[in-house]
Amino acid sequence: MRPPDIKALLIAHLHERLAVPVVSTRPDGDSRPARFVRIIGTGGAGLHDRLAYTVQVTVDSYAESPGRAAALAADVDEIMRALPASPLPVTSVTGTAPQESPDSDTAQARATATYQLPTILN
């Protein structure tokens, strides 16, 4: 049984709820938006208990200032914590609180949080 593509589902889910682009690769150059969210798959426990699959994602919220990045990350965190009540197959959410995490490759402010998302295999 193949697990659901949680990263793709999250990108679509966050895109529907946020007024910023949601991407898997950080845009660079002149096309980079002032505010955006990036989702990175960072592992997880994988298959366990025969029908459960846990993934881990790191979510970066970029904006024009640390305050705006923190506000965007708080919006993302609220959506992420509500995933068990969404149509996505996520059964619970654990993870870190959003924190300031300057990006050494760009001049943009960034806030980052990491989440573990247990899912049920169908």
Contacts of 31 (CB under 8 A, 6+ apart): none
Predicted TM-score (pTM) of this structure: 0.91
State how beta strands 99-100 and 52-63 pair: unpaired
pLDDT digits (tens, 9 = 90+) for 24-42: 999 888 888 999 999 999 9
**CA–CA dist 84, 118 (Å, integer):** 10
In sequence order, which ranges of the chain are alpha helices (DSSP H)?
A: 6-17, 66-81
Closest of 107, 103, 83, 85 to residue 94, by C-alpha:
83
**CA–CA dist 7, 18 (Å, integer):** 16
What is the reported pLDDT for 122?
67
Which residues of the chain fall short of a pLDDT of 70? 1, 45-47, 49, 122
User: Two tokens at 107?
Assistant: 């001049």
